[in-house]
Amino acid sequence: MTTDPGEPTNDPAAAEPATAESTAAEPTAAEPGAGEHGTEPAREGRDTEDPDDALPMRNGAGWIGFGVSGASFLASLAIGWPDAILFATLGLAFALTGLVRSSRGRADNGRYALAGVVLAVATFILGFVWSAQAEPCRQYFDDRAKWDACYSERTGIF
């Protein structure tokens, strides 16, 4: 079989063997600057060696989730506040967002985000407990003063 001198061949024996000088000067694909002509910048993110190039941690959602869930749990525990479940739902959303960011390496407060999830779930459970405790108060639903007295007597610590 005859090939033209300018035409590339698929024969591995015809290829030039690589020398140590030719492979050492060319960057590999895993190195920063390995793009065409070595001009591609290094990837930004957490896997770079220079800490100045790293993205900032995004801890806000985890902290907000922990704070809102903790406050709603304390409000539900202390006074049996019925609206604490609404705030626990908000805290759960923020805490789950913080937990996902932590698992992806974008945040470093995963323990606080997890504590926010636990507190929000505990607030839901406590809400059901207070609801069961306040069941006898249903007969006073039309009279606000009697309802408040019955509810505060049966729910909450204080």
List the chain domain ranges: 12-53, 60-154
Q: What is the pLDDT of residue 54?
A: 75
Q: What is the mean pLDDT of each run of 10 residues along the chain (158 residues)?
A: 60 57 52 52 52 79 97 94 94 97 94 98 95 92 92 88
Question: Which residue reads 């920063």 in tokens?
Answer: 32
Half-sphere exposure of 44 (CA within 13 A, CB side): 5
Tell me the pTM.
0.64
- Residue 62, SS3? helix
